[in-house]
Amino acid sequence: MPELPEVETIARQLAPVLTGRAVRRFALVDPMLRDGPVPRVAGRRIDGVRRSGKRVLLAFGARGGGDGPLWLAVHLRMTGRLLWTDAARFVAPSRVRARFELDRGRLLFCDTRRLGTFTWYRSEAEAEPEGVDPLSRAAGRARVGAWLAGSREPIKTWLMRQDRLAGIGNIYASEILFAAGVDPRRPGASLEVDEVARLVAATRTILRRAIRCSGTTFSDFQDARGEIGSYGRYLRVYDREDEPCSRCGTPIRRVVQQQRSTYFCPGCQR
C-alpha cells in the first residue's frame, strides 16, 4: 500500500499539470466510489493538489449559485493509480473507476482491485488526517517524546498509528527504526531522550530520501507517469530476512506485529 513517499511523489507530479485546469465533465464509473451524494464537479477549477497523510488531496474551486469549494481525498490503497494525459489517443489501463474530463487532458483513477476510495469534503480542515505530518515542525522531538512517554505500545506499531504521525506504513517504519538503532519490539515509553532524537531524525531522513527516489515498488505501485519507485535498492532490513546486516553482519530477523511483518537487526537495534 502506498505510504507517504509514494503519495507525495504522485501529488508533486500532478500539481503542475492539474492546477488551474477546468473540469468539463466528471464521470463516476464505479458505484463503489460513491461515498454519499456525489457533488457537482463540472464547472469547477482545480485549485491545487497535495498530499494529506497517505491520501492525495485535490482542491476544487467554487461554482456559481453559491456552490462552495470542494476537496477530494483519494486513497490509492493497493492498486489505485491517478493518471493524467493530454494525448488525443490514450489507451487507459484496465478498470477505470472515475474520469475527469478537463479543458486540457484527462485525469483517470484506475484500480484493478477496486480497493481505493474517494472521500469528498466541504472544508479543507475536515480533509486533514488526525495525526501530524512526520515531515512538519509539529513532529519535533519534544512532541514525539511527550507522546511516547506514556505509551506501552511497541514502537514499530506506534509509528504506524495514523492518529500520531500520518503517512508512515510498514516498509518505512522498519527502515526508520533500523536507522535509529531501536528494537521495534520496545515499548515507546522505554526510549531515552537521545533515542527519541535519533528516531525523529531518522524518520525525516528516510522519508525524504524515499521521496527523491519516487518511493518503493514491490509489485503494484506506479506513479502518475506509470513509472515505478526506485527506493527498494536502498532498503536495509525490510524484506531481507536471514540476509546479513549491512552494518554488523548479523542475520536480519522477521517477527509479526499486529499481523504485519517487521524486519530488524538484533545486533544493531537495541
Q: What pLDDT score does 230 carry? A: 78
Say how far apart CA 43 and CA 99 lie, in whole Å: 15
Say how far apart CA 131 and CA 176 lie, in whole Å: 18
Choose between 93 and 192: higher pLDDT. Answer: 192
Q: What pLDDT score does 66 carry? A: 76
Q: What pLDDT score does 224 carry? A: 72
Structural domain boundaries in the chain: 4-127, 137-264
pLDDT over 90 (residue 155): yes
Q: Kindly report, residue by residue over 51-60, the tens digit of the pLDDT.
A: 999 999 999 9
Q: What pLDDT score does 46 carry? A: 98
pLDDT over 60 (residue 169): yes
- 4-127: CATH number: 3.20.190.10
Evaluate whether 161 touches 131 at the Cβ level (below 8 Å): yes
Show which residues are catalytic: 2-3, 54, 260
Residue % of the chain over a pLDDT of 70: 94
**Matching fold, domains 4-127 and 137-264:** no
CATH architecture of the domain covering 137-264? Orthogonal Bundle (1.10)
Q: What pLDDT score does 113 carry? A: 92
What confidence tier does 232 reach under pLDDT thresholds 50, 70, 90?
A: confident
Evaluate whether 181 touches 197 at the Cβ level (below 8 Å): no
Q: Classify burial at 149, counting beta carbons within 10 Å of its beta carbon; exposed 0-12, middle 13-18, buried 19 or more.
A: exposed
* 183 contact partners, CB below 8 Å, separation of at least 6: 155, 177, 264, 266, 269, 270
45: β partners: 22
Q: What pLDDT score does 3 carry? A: 92
Q: Kindly report, residue by residue over 208-231, the tens digit of the pLDDT.
A: 999 999 888 665 666 777 776 778
Alpha carbons within 13 angstroms on the beta-carbon side of residue 128 total: 9
Report the pLDDT averaged over residues 245-253.
Answer: 97
What confidence tier does 11 reach under pLDDT thresholds 50, 70, 90?
A: very high
Report the pLDDT averaged over residues 80-107.
Answer: 86
Evaluate whether 49 touches 15 at the Cβ level (below 8 Å): yes
pTM over 0.85: yes
Q: What pLDDT score does 78 carry? A: 86
Cα dihedral: 169, 175, 180, 182 (round 10): 80
**Mean pLDDT of the chain, nearest integer:** 93
Report the pLDDT averaged over residues 165-182.
Answer: 97
